[in-house]
Amino acid sequence: MKNRRDRIKAKIRKKIKGTQERPRLVVFRSLNHIYAQLIDDVNYKTLLSVSTTYKDVSEKLKNVKSKTESSKVVGKIIAEKALSKNYSKVVFDRNGYLYHGRVKALADGAREGGLIF
């Protein structure tokens, strides 16, 4: 039997697909960290990835106090990297998580950074 998040995730993945022109922005959150990836589902490639565990990101997070604030910073960083590689429009995949808290903060940070979804 699948757990609740896996069932929700399967429903979401039926509806959305990432392409080369409009990749899928996937969010994964663990207890302490958050990860974001841009994925091209047509060619089965990961185009970009950003995480709070990366060295260059963790240096920017030294004075950030909460996990929600760090999620927003990760969203802004992935937006900067995506725009530098000419990806301005994405499809947002919340990966079975509720659109609330850290997931919402990452999405808001990506929108502030210039991504359209």
| Spatial contact of 106 and 69, defined as CB atoms under 8 Å apart | no
In 3-state terms, what secondary structure has residue 9?
Answer: helix
Question: What are the residues whose beta carbons fall under 8 Å from the beta carbon of 50, sequence distance 6 or more?
Answer: 35, 36, 37, 57, 74, 77, 78, 81
| Residue 110, pLDDT above cutoff 90 | yes
pLDDT at 70: 96
Task: Please tell me whether the overall predicted TM-score, pTM, comes out greater than 0.75 for this model.
Answer: yes
- What's the rounded mean pLDDT across residues 74-92? 96
Tell me what the mean pLDDT of segment 15-23 comes to.
91
> Percent of the chain, pLDDT > 90?
87
Architecture of the structural domain at 4-113: 2-Layer Sandwich (3.30)
